Amino acid sequence: MFLSVLQSRAFDYLKRRLFPNREFFSAAVPIVFFSFAGDNQDTMKRRNFITGTAFGAAGALSGCAGGTTGQGNPGPESGEVDLKQKLLECLGGSWPEPGDLRPKSGEILQREGFRIEEVSYEAEPGDRIQALLLVPEGVDERNPAPGICVWHQHAGQYELGKSEPAGLQGNPMHFTGEGLARLGYVVLCPDALCFESRQDSKLEGGSFERFEFLRYFVSGKCMAWKNIFDMRRAVDYLAFRPEVDAERMGCYGHSMGSTHTWLVGPWEPRLKCLVGNCCLPTYEAIHDSKILHCFPNFVPGFYQFGDTPDIAGLIAPRVLHLNFGEEDEGSPIDGVRKGIGTIEKAYAEAGASDSFSWYIEEGAGHVLSDTMWEHVKSTFARL
Confidence of residue 145 (pLDDT cuts 50, 70, 90): very high
Which of 59, 91, 123 is the last residue in one of the domains? Answer: 91
Query: Could you tell me which of 373, 370, 369, 343 has the C-alpha nearest to residue 355?
Result: 343
Mark whether 84 and 128 lie in a shared domain: no
Number of H helices, E strands in the chain: 13, 9
**Which pLDDT score, from 0 to 100, does residue 109 have?**
97
> What three-state secondary structure class fits 6?
helix
Confidence of residue 15 (pLDDT cuts 50, 70, 90): very low
CA angle 223, 225, 228 (to 5 degrees): 105
Which of 47, 68, 91 is the last residue in one of the domains? Answer: 91
CA-CA-CA-CA torsion sign (308, 311, 316, 319): negative
Q: Are 151 and 177 in contact (CB under 8 A)?
A: no
Judge whether residue 17 has pLDDT over 80.
Answer: no
Mark whether 122 and 206 lie in a shared domain: yes
Which of 32, 59, 91 is the last residue in one of the domains? Answer: 91
Question: Does residue 99 lie in a domain region?
Answer: no
**Which pLDDT score, from 0 to 100, does residue 80 have?**
54
Compute the average pLDDT of residues 315-342.
97
Question: Does residue 323 lie in a domain region?
Answer: yes
**Which pLDDT score, from 0 to 100, does residue 155 have?**
95
Question: Looking at 66-75, 196-205, 215-224, 302-311, which range is the least confident one?
Answer: 66-75
Percent of the chain having pLDDT more than 70? 79
Judge whether residue 244 has pLDDT over 90.
Answer: yes
**Which pLDDT score, from 0 to 100, does residue 73 have?**
52
CA angle 59, 60, 66 (to 5 degrees): 105
Confidence of residue 30 (pLDDT cuts 50, 70, 90): very low
Mark whether 30 and 147 lie in a shared domain: no
Q: Report the phi/psi class of residue 194: left, alpha or beta, with left for phi > 0 and alpha for psi in -120 to 50.
A: left
Question: Does residue 97 lie in a domain region?
Answer: no
- Domain holding 201, by residue range, is 104-297+308-380
Q: Which helix (H) or strand (E) holds 254?
A: strand 244-254
Question: Does residue 52 lie in a domain region?
Answer: yes
Confidence of residue 149 (pLDDT cuts 50, 70, 90): very high
Judge whether residue 34 has pLDDT over 90.
Answer: no
Q: Say which residue, 76 or 362, is predicted with more confidence.
A: 362
Mark whether 87 and 120 lie in a shared domain: no
Judge whether residue 82 has pLDDT over 60.
Answer: yes
Question: How far is 301 from 22, CA to CA, in rounded Å?
Answer: 15
Q: Are 50 and 295 in contact (CB under 8 A)?
A: yes
Query: Could you tell me which of 216, 305, 299, 288 has the C-alpha nearest to residue 260?
Result: 299
Question: Looking at 64-73, 216-225, 250-259, 296-305, which range is the least confident one?
Answer: 64-73
Question: Does residue 96 lie in a domain region?
Answer: no
What is the amino acid identity at position 32? V
Question: How far is 349 from 126, CA to CA, in rounded Å?
Answer: 42
Instruction: Return the CATH number at 344.
Output: 3.40.50.1820
Question: Does residue 239 lie in a domain region?
Answer: yes
Question: How far is 21 from 301, CA to CA, in rounded Å?
Answer: 12
- Cα end-to-end distance, the chain, whole Å: 62
Judge whether residue 75 has pLDDT over 90.
Answer: no
Number of domains in the chain: 2
Q: What is the pTM of this model?
A: 0.81
Q: What is the average pLDDT score of the chain?
A: 85
Judge whether residue 169 has pLDDT over 90.
Answer: yes
Percent of the chain having pLDDT more than 90? 79
**Which pLDDT score, from 0 to 100, does residue 5 have?**
38
- Which residues have a Cβ under 8 Å from the Cβ of 345 and sit 6 or more positions away? 313
- Which residues have a Cβ under 8 Å from the Cβ of 68 and sit 6 or more positions away? 62, 74, 303, 304
Judge whether residue 179 has pLDDT over 60.
Answer: yes
